[in-house]
Structure 1
Amino acid sequence: MATAPLVRRHLDRGVAVLTLDSPRNRNALSSGLLDELNDALDQAGGDPEVRAVLVTHTGTTFCSGADLTEGRVAEGPGQLVALLERIAVLPKPVVAEVKGHVRAGGLGLLAACDISVATAAATYTFSESRLGLAPAVASMPVLAGGDARAMARYFLTGERFDTAEAIRIGLVTAREDALDGILAGLRAGSPQGLAATKELTTAGLRERLTADGPALARLSGRLFASADAAAGMTAFLERRDPPWTL
């Protein structure tokens, strides 16, 4: 029996629309979803008919971060680094459309996209510190484009914030009503011009991914394998407070 795709694809007037379609686990970054999204980006990058990529989603969550139910969770950080690198070096602009919530590593995916739009109902949380983890890999694109002081607060506290705040601190580009104008502008751009311009705008992120990506993936893997993370993830899955909560 064929397995339903976790990433659906279609072409809309030069825009490759990639829809994350794993609502059962809130579009978590499972190994399957990561593989399919990388493959879809590769295909879009090599297709001369594609001018830009739009990453959107089904369900109430854009991406919930690592799939904590997967046995290979400690391998996820390396796969996430590879995905962020794929987005950064892709010669086509990548736009994220957020119509729901974004959590943990999903914020790294969001921040790696060149442009992002979100509805007013979306919410954002860096939940790693409450699970005995750290936003190690996600921090690279998040800090490359966002307000470092504001990010320090949300990294450390795990507070939830809304789209207005996400725009203010540089995590999201604009509200969703800007999407049509953004896509029209990308459709009007020359493929060469868009690719050359993207090289300029992603230079800092690409340098950091090369310099720090492997070390941060190893750090994240060690944290996932720790006793604290085991306690934190178990508490999360059982919907209770971890043992260190005061």
Structure 2
Amino acid sequence: MTKRPTLLATAHERGITTLTLDSPANRNALSARLVGELGEALAVCAKDESVRAVVLTHTGSTFSAGADLKAPPNPYTFVGLLRQIVTLPKPVVARVSGHVRAGGLGLLGACDIAAASTGADFAFTEVRIGVAPAVISLPLLPRMDPRAAERYYLTGERFDAAEAVRAGLLTLAADDVDEALAPVLAGLRGASPQGLAAAKELLAARVIEAFDRDAEDLVQRSASLFASAEAREGMTAFVERRDPAWVL
């Protein structure tokens, strides 16, 4: 039996393991398979003493287009992945050089450091299909500027990397994202594993509080929205590349 190709590429160099979302055909949409493979790879990194930090990046022009509407992950599994990133005892650094939409923004929010090229762009597109950024709010709302979250959650507007830094979604943006990340990775390589784990635990405490308090409610809220007639119209319109019925 032929083994299906992996949707995640892994590389390791001098203490840094790079996990690359490698499903460009569907713009690295978060399918059940991709979420599962990423969770398994992170679990390996957590136990591997040679891993000082993890870089999460992508192939193609899109970091992630959000949930794969054709093969979506179980919402509890996706929440588990976000929590796994937040609680991993090694820093996780997002490296973006393209588009990020919807659930892909949840991955950025869960990472400890997020860097993007100045050509990257971002959008919370959920409202365009009749749903809301529910479960991804768990790592995002504790970290984002409240006024920015209100604007972009409600309008679905696209915004650039400089605005993403101002909004608290990104740590930094630069023309050459790899050059900008070089001192960050050097700092992580020079840090003690115990010190990194302890510092990350302090920084993540407020985000973990949100998971403990709100995860079940947001999973249920998301499921209710996706099951609605309005969401069915929104998703159908998206597939058919037309405006949904409510557009004025």
1:181-196 mapped onto 2 (5 Å cutoff): 181-196=183-198
Where 1:27 maps in the other structure, the secondary structure is coil
**1:170-189 CA distance string (max 9 Å, x none):** 10001223211110000000
Match of 2:143 in 1: 145
Equivalent residue, structure 2, for 1:218: 220
**TM-score when scaled to structure 2?**
0.96
Give the alignment's Cα RMSD to 1 decimal.
0.9
Distance 1:149 1:187 in 2: 35
Instruction: Supply the AA of the counterpart residue of 2:114.
Output: S
Give the Cα–Cα distance (whole angstroms) in 2 for the partners of residues 20 and 193 of structure 1. Answer: 28
Q: Are residues 1:99 and 2:100 paired?
A: no
Identity of aligned residues (%): 56
Query: How far apart are residue 214 of structure 1 and its match?
Result: 1.6
Contact 1:30 1:76 in 2 (8 A): no
Q: Distance in 2 between matches of 1:221 and 1:106?
A: 18
Measured in 1, the distance between the counterparts of 2:11 and 2:216 equals: 33
* Structure 1 residue 76: Cα displacement: 3.6
For residues 4-19 of structure 1, the aligned pairs below 5 Å read: 4-19=5-20
Tell me the residue number matched to 1:173.
Answer: 171
**Structure 2 partner of 1:80:** 78
User: Aligned residue for 2:108?
Assistant: 110
Paired position in structure 1 for 2:27:
26
Show the counterpart of 1:43. 44
TM-score normalised according to structure 1 size: 0.97
The Cα of 1:242 is off from its aligned counterpart by 0.5
The Cα of 1:80 is off from its aligned counterpart by 1.6
Is the partner of 1:67 in helix, strand or coil? Answer: coil
- The CA deviation string for residues 114-148 of structure 1, in whole angstroms up to 9 with x for no partner, is 00110111110000011110000111211111101
Choose the corresponding residue for 1:234, options 227, 236, 244: 236
Where does 1:121-140 land on structure 2 (aligned, <5 Å)? 121-140=119-138
Gaps of 5+ in 2: none
Task: Give the distance between the partners of 1:80 and 1:18, measured in 2 at CA.
Answer: 17
5+ residue gaps, structure 1, are: none
Structure 2 distance, partners of 1:190, 1:236, is 47
